[in-house]
Every structure is written in C-alpha cells, then in structure tokens.
Structure 1
C-alpha cells in the first residue's frame, strides 16, 4: 500500500537517486518532492528498510553496504547518504581511512565508481570542528581527488519550515565537469513553523505510542520542554531522550545540571508527533516496535529540509545540463 503521494509537486521526474544509509527515507521523500526519483536504497536496519518500502518504488536492499557489489548498484544521477562519523573524533586529523570510518569509505568508493553528476551527504555539525577543522578538509580533499567540487553547508532545519532546532552539515558535491562554482545554500525562510502550527489537530496519543521509560539523570540534566509558540528541541533517535510535549508543565532548575518537573502531567512526544516534527507526512506508517520507530524518525533528515536540498540541486542540474552535453559519465 502506498501511503503518501510524492508526485504532488512534479510529475516529470528526470533525475535518479541511489540512497546509502537511507533509513526510513526522510531525505529520499524530500528529494522525490523536489522532482527526483529514488531507484535504489540501502540500509542495515531491517525495520527502516521495511518502512522505506511502504512508500517507495525503489529497490530497497537491506544489509551491510560493505558486502554489496558496487557494480550491482544501478547508475544514477545522484548518490545520497548520511555516513556516521564516530571514528573521526577518535582518529588523528589525517587518519580518515581509520577502520572506524569504513562506512564513510564505502560512500566515497561508490561515488568514485559510479561518477554521478552530484552527491549529497548529511552529517552532524560537530564534523566541522573535529581535528580543529582538519577532518572536514580531509573529506573535501578526498572527494575532490575523485573528481568533485565539494561545498559544506551548516544549516538549521528550523530556518526551512521544520518546527525543530536541528543543526546539520550538508555536503553538496558536483562533478567537476559541471563547473559549479560559488555554490550558496538557499537563504532561510522569512518565518518559522511553531509547535502549535505543526501539531494542530493532532489527537491525544495512546499510551503505547509514547515512551514511558523512567527519566534518567542525563535527561534531567537540562531543560527538555519548549512551548507551543516555539520550535522543538532536536528530535533524537533514542526514545528515552525524546523531549517533552508542550502541554507538559515547565521544568524547574534546581542546581547546576539538575532540573525537576513542575506540577501536572508530563510526557514525551509520541512517535507520531516526533514524525510530524521531523516533517514526515501525517499518517505515515513506520514498522517495528516503539523503540525502532523513534530511532528511524530521529535518525532521518527532516523531509522539508530535504526538499529544500533537492530543489537547489534540481535547479543546478537543469542549468548545467542544458548548457552542455554531459550525458556521458566520466570515464565512459
């Protein structure tokens, strides 16, 4: 059953996408809305792949990307993904090939083998300061050596129609023969979507749809609640760390790194509310248990931010490919 219509904005989908670390497909849905077509997707998370298959017509391959033959991945115009960066913080500034960063290396290798027109990679903002900035420089150099001009962009999803403070780095890479120079990410929208607007008419959730686990000392170390007329804190992937619904009483600071709940009913966002804050379509289904649903939602790129990413990408490809015959991949 296809549960959402991704053809509402563009019916003529010209450019194809292969998606690594695709998860439930937040980035892919946004790109589809901007005019792209995801034809292949991969993730190791079984539930995330099942969720992706609910809405996507792509070939979804569940499993370790390191065990997939690169040449079995179809040729596409774009490659996307959000590679983990845990190893970067532990490795020396130039040890970008550290074993802990193998997922990053798979992404780079696939781009090198397939030579798409462009790639888009998403990561946490901390990647800009790891190794005093030398890690991001090494990443840019790595992709540049494979034939790409790379532009890192630090953005807050709240500036692009997402009711949530969520700082992320978006790496745009363009094949050098496209001659994309002086790239600039779209300017922030002149408004912000509040929780009141985003959650309007949302029904009270069932208890089984809300994480009711105990609140840890880590959770209680800072304020976890924002009001109706604000944007949410970042939606995390860990269910126990999901922040509070705005109907909850204000938290009270009692000391350094110590807060308590005010009087009244306190609860976390339900997984459905978290999905809406991540700008997934209302009513979208997610497979798996409650912990898995929260994880899929929290790991995703917000759909509306992804749509902004896609529109800019589409605009550049239309301009560059209409000006020059680049139908042949580099090396063909």
Structure 2
C-alpha cells in the first residue's frame, strides 16, 4: 500500500536492522539508528546506510558507527534536541535478557536499565509515536520485591511494561499494548512478542488504540502480499528452496573462517508465495549466509535419531530425551507443515525437518522474514567468554524484530499520521472560516 505521507523515524537498539527494514518497506523514512554492537552495526551499515535502495538519510553530525543511546545523548544532546518536531517515530527493542522467561528475570539486571536511555531519548526528541518491542516476559510481574524496589522505587510486583507505560503517560503519551504472535502477520514462526504502541496527546482528537488497529489490519496486510489468511506460513514454504539434498557442496564464499561449505542456490521455477516475497528485490542474486555447519559424524547420527523419535514441532519430551540420550530441553525438529518455534540466538536449538543438521543463518533469517537481498556481515558464531559480548550472524538474526511485523506496524502508523494530517487540515479550514466570518461580523458592527 502506497502512502502519500512520509513518516520519519529513529531506530534505537536497532540490532542488525530488522525493525528498520520493515518500516522502510512500508514507506517510512529512516533518519538514523543506534546500535552498540560493532558486528550488528556492520550488517545494518552494509544494508541500510551504504545501500542504494533502502537507506537512512543519516545526519552529517552523527558518525555512522556503533554506539549506545547513552553515548548519543552524552555527546550530541544539542543536535538530538534540535530534532524535536522533526521526528514522527522512535522505535526500539531494548535488550530483553532481564525480562525473558527463559532467563532469571532479574529486575536489577543492568540491561533492563537501557530502557531508561530509551526514555531519555524520547524526552529529548518528543516524537509523535513510540513503538517498543520486547519478549512476552516484559509484561510479567517481578516477584522479587527487594530488587524491584531497586529498579522501580515503590512499584512493587509490577511488570516492567507497566512501569514503562506509567513513565510514558507522564511524558504525555497514550499507550496501547499487548501480546502478538508474529505468525499472524506472515512470519513463518510462532514468536510471541510484547508490543507497546504509543501516540503523543497534543491535539483534541480522540486517540485510537493503535495496538488494536494493528491486529485489525492483519487480513488486508496478508492479502496484499499474497500470503495465506486462514493459516500460518509453514517452514517448508519458507525454506524448501534452501535444502541441500542432492546438491554438490562448494566452498562457502562469505565465511570469515576457512573450510566451510555451502550448496549453490538454485532459484525454484515456481517459488511459494512466501519465497517469492522474500526474493523480491534480490534481482536474481543468491542470498548470502548459507554456510553449512561442520557436524561431526556422531552429531549427524544424533540428529538423525532425534528426527526419528521426536514429534516434529515440539521440544523433546522427557521420554524422548531418554531415548536420544540427551538432557537438552530445548531441541526441536521443525515440522514442515507448521511455522517454526521461536528463532533464538542458539543455532543448535532447532533441527531441520528433513536433513540431519541445524539451520543455516539464511534459513533462520527466512523464518524471521528477512528478505533475500539483506546481506548479513561479520563472523557467523562466537564462543567462550565472547558469547555475552559479541553479536555474530546467528545472534543478529535471533535478536531481530521480524521485518514483516515491522512493515505491518509501519503501515498502521502511516495511515494514522495521514488521518491526523487530514484532521489538522480540516480543523485549520474550519478555524479559517470562523475567523473570516468574525471579520465580516466585526466589519458590519456599528
């Protein structure tokens, strides 16, 4: 859907750029993005700063390099403040490890405090809209009262989402929020996320529930892209053209480490609707990041066993783990006819539906709805002490907001901005007519 209105946005905690890709696809204009990881920023820069089609406008005063929101505000607070009134939207997914139900959910986790930096940026720029995306656990209440008081004062046993909503309301925003499954918007993955969509209240018009507007836009969004409306996109629909069975393997062209293989990409004569959507704008070129893992023979044998005994689409049960001889809880074999489970930063959590291996970065990216023209950069994996500091390709993909969901959000906000602009025009016209009428009345008074 084409929109005559331009919506300008800043992406904070941008990662490799999933939110920005979707917003730009919807027709929004990116001003700049903030991301602290040099590895993730390298991917964002390659695709969204040095790319001719999808580019941030990027101000001359801001160096295009990795930094934190804290760095931005401390170094360029005057320049950022000058953007007030020129930015329609700030988006961001602050680091979620302190909220994730898979972790310890410590409210005093210093990563949670990065949301405070996000709020400081909001206070400087005062955008029309705000979008915060996070894990489902963002809206779960903390039970540790002592730690909660450290972070949120007297807001005992509140969820962090409730705390943030209160802060945003104090800044003058109407807040709408809720859980959404990315699979509802064509993403071939069951990924439950918490969304907070906010609008600044500086007009007399009634503010709609933008989260509900997003949910209501689902059918139209899917229909316009030729995606199924009565069921989710399946894993096989998403990645069948990336299978390697029967293909001669060749050296991987984009691996930073030697000795890895990949299968040459052969574009299908009749791609699925989802594959055609992901191939759009790829101009016939092969997607990158197809490097295959170097599994040992015993690993391949183990994955084959897991495929033979597990229920595809479900984590291994206690009985299945006993049969497989593993204590690992999170291993899931993909079901070809269903969406994938949540793509995480750990590649060995998911096994391919028909081949005894983990997924490639590109397969994971497809399940996140990254288009094939989007090229991931830097190292594929990391380990040891670096695991918590670095953001290699698998981590970039796992941490990203699915671009299709972001595109749907962008379309809803563009439509809302158009409505506001039209209402403002009508209001100005009414006020102008009232003024002219008053002038005439004043002119005929004795």
Range of TM-score over shorter length: 0.7 to 0.9
Partner of 1:17: 9
**TM-superposed deviation, 1:120:** 0.7
Query: TM (normalized to structure 1)?
Result: 0.80
Partner of 1:296: 396
1:62 maps to which of 60, 66, 89: 66
Identify if the C-alpha distance between structure 1 residues 157 and 25 changes in structure 2 by more than 3 Å, giving closer, same or farther. same
Query: TM (normalized to structure 2)?
Result: 0.61
**Aligned residues between the structures:** 295
Q: SS of the counterpart of 1:44? A: coil
CA contact (8 A) 1:211 1:290 kept: no
The 5 A counterparts of 1:59-208 are: 59=58, 60-69=64-73, 70-73=77-80, 74=83, 75-87=86-98, 89-91=105-107, 100-131=111-142, 133-178=158-203, 179-183=206-210, 184=212, 185-187=214-216, 188-189=218-219, 190=229, 191-204=231-244, 207-208=260-261
Structure 2 runs not aligned, ≥5 long = 49-54, 59-63, 100-104, 143-156, 220-228, 253-259, 262-290, 303-324, 382-391, 426-446
2:292 maps to which of 195, 210, 219: 210
Q: SS of the counterpart of 1:200? A: helix
Identify if the C-alpha distance between structure 1 residues 160 and 285 changes in structure 2 by more than 3 Å, giving closer, same or farther. same
Partner of 1:247: 354
CA contact (8 A) 2:34 2:66 kept: yes
Name whichever of 280-289 and 81-90 sits farther off: 81-90
More strand by share: 1
Query: CA–CA distance in 2 between the matches of 1:287 and 1:144?
Result: 39
Query: CA–CA distance in 2 between the matches of 1:99 and 1:226?
Result: 35
RMSD: 2.7
Q: SS of the counterpart of 1:80? A: strand
Partner of 2:34: 42
More helix by share: 2
* CA offsets 1:207-252 (integer angstroms, 9 cap, x no match): 55234578899883244112211111111123343x111114xxxx
CA contact (8 A) 2:38 2:65 kept: no
**TM-superposed deviation, 1:134:** 3.7
Identify if the C-alpha distance between structure 1 residues 182 and 283 changes in structure 2 by more than 3 Å, giving closer, same or farther. closer
* CA offsets 1:37-63 (integer angstroms, 9 cap, x no match): 111011011121121122212234411
CA contact (8 A) 1:211 1:239 kept: no
Partner of 1:237: 345
Name whichever of 156-165 and 223-232 sits farther off: 223-232
Partner of 1:258: none
Identify if the C-alpha distance between structure 1 residues 288 and 99 changes in structure 2 by more than 3 Å, giving closer, same or farther. closer
* CA offsets 1:241-284 (integer angstroms, 9 cap, x no match): 3x111114xxxxxxxxxxxxxxxxx2111001111111111142
**TM-superposed deviation, 1:139:** 1.2
Q: SS of the counterpart of 2:365? A: helix
